[in-house]
Structure 1
Amino acid sequence: MKWQRDHAIEGKAGYDYVLLAIILLAVIGVMFHTTIPFLGVGAVTAYLLIFKWYDSGIGKNILLENPTRTIKLFPDETANLDLNMENRSIFPMINGEFQLQMGPAVKAYKHAKDEETYWHKLKIPLSILRKRKTHISIPVIAQQRGVAKVHNIMYYFPHLFHFESAMIRYTPFFRTEFVVFPRLLEVKGVEAVFQMMPGKGRSPFSPYEDIQSPLGTREYHYSDPFHRINWNASVKTQKLQTNVYEREINRSFVFLVNIGKSKTSNMVQTNQHMEALLSYTAYLSKVATEMDIPFELFINSRRPGKIPVLHIPEGEGKRHYGTTLEMLARIHKQSLVFPFDKMLFNIGNHLTHHKTCIIIGELTEDSLHLLDKWKKKNVTIFHVPYSEGTSVVKPLGQEVLSHAK
Structure 2
Amino acid sequence: MDPNQYDLHMETRFQRIKQRVRGKKSGTYSNDEWSGWVQQIENERGLRMMNAVLFLLLSVSFFLGSTPLFFLFFAILAYMWGNFYYLTHVAKKLEIHILEEKLKLFTEDEGMLRLRITHNSLLPIFFGRLRLGTDKNILFQHGEEQIHMNQLHFNFHQVGRSQWEVVLPFTAVKRGVAQLHLFDMEIDSFFGWGKVYLQTRDKMQFEVIVYPRSEKVAGLEKIFPKKQGEQPSRSSLFEEKSRVLGTRDYVPGDPFGNIHWKATARMNSLQSKVYDRTTQLSWLFVIDISTSSFEEKMRGIAFLLHYATKHNISFSILVNIKKLGNPSYIVMNSGEGKQQLYAGMMLLARIKVENVMIPSMTFGQIIHQHAIRHPYVIACTEQAVMETWNLPTSTEGFALETVGDGVKLVKLRKGMKHQGIFMKHA
CA distance in 2, matches of 1:340, 1:283: 26
Report whether the alignment pairs 1:360 with 2:380: yes
Cα distance change on mapping 1:135 and 1:368 into 2, 3 Å = same
Query: Equivalent residue of 2:118, what SS?
Result: strand
Report whether the alignment pairs 1:325 with 2:355: no
Report whether the alignment pairs 1:393 with 2:409: yes
Query: Equivalent residue of 1:286, what SS?
Result: helix
May I ask how many residue pairs the two structures share in their alignment? 386
CA distance in 2, matches of 1:304, 1:271: 23
Query: Equivalent residue of 1:200, what SS?
Result: strand
User: Is contact 1:97-1:156 (8 Å) kept?
Assistant: yes
Cα distance change on mapping 1:128 and 1:334 into 2, 3 Å = same
What does 1:368-383 correspond to in 2, within 5 Å? 368=388, 370-371=390-391, 373-375=392-394, 379-383=395-399
Q: Give the TM-score normalised by the residue count of structure 1.
A: 0.79
Give the aligned partner of residue 25 of structure 1. 58
Give the aligned partner of residue 62 of structure 1. 94
Give the aligned partner of residue 160 of structure 2. 130
* CA deviations over 1:232-289 (Å, ceiling 9, x no partner): 9899999998666443233332222233xxxxxxxxxx23432233222112112223
Query: Equivalent residue of 1:307, what SS?
Result: coil
Give the aligned partner of residue 303 of structure 2. 283
Give the aligned partner of residue 209 of structure 1. 239
Give the aligned partner of residue 337 of structure 1. 357
Shift of 1:66: 3.6
User: Is contact 1:95-1:127 (8 Å) kept?
Assistant: yes
What does 1:2-401 correspond to in 2, within 5 Å? 2-7=36-41, 9-30=42-63, 32=65, 53-66=85-98, 69-112=101-144, 119-161=149-191, 163-195=193-225, 197-203=227-233, 206-213=236-243, 222-225=252-255, 228=257, 245-259=275-289, 270-339=290-359, 341-346=361-366, 348-349=368-369, 355-363=375-383, 368=388, 370-371=390-391, 373-375=392-394, 379-387=395-403, 389-398=405-414
* CA deviations over 1:344-371 (Å, ceiling 9, x no partner): 5335446665633323313557865622
CA distance in 1, matches of 2:284, 2:367: 10
* CA deviations over 1:358-400 (Å, ceiling 9, x no partner): 23313557865622x341xxx3433323545533224332386
AA aligned opposite 2:306: K
AA aligned opposite 2:54: A
Segments of structure 2 that go 5 or more residues without pairing to the other structure are 1-34
AA aligned opposite 2:37: W
CA distance in 2, matches of 1:24, 1:121: 46
Cα distance change on mapping 1:337 and 1:328 into 2, 3 Å = same
CA distance in 1, matches of 2:216, 2:181: 35
Greater mean deviation of Cα atoms: 99-108 or 383-392? 383-392
Give the aligned partner of residue 265 of structure 1. none
Cα distance change on mapping 1:135 and 1:272 into 2, 3 Å = same
CA distance in 2, matches of 1:82, 1:163: 32
Greater mean deviation of Cα atoms: 308-317 or 357-366? 357-366
CA distance in 2, matches of 1:285, 1:204: 23
CA distance in 2, matches of 1:183, 1:216: 43
Counting aligned pairs with the same residue, the percent is 22
Segments of structure 1 that go 5 or more residues without pairing to the other structure are 260-269
Greater mean deviation of Cα atoms: 94-103 or 199-208? 199-208
* CA deviations over 1:179-213 (Å, ceiling 9, x no partner): 22224333201233243642124456532122344
CA distance in 2, matches of 1:83, 1:68: 8
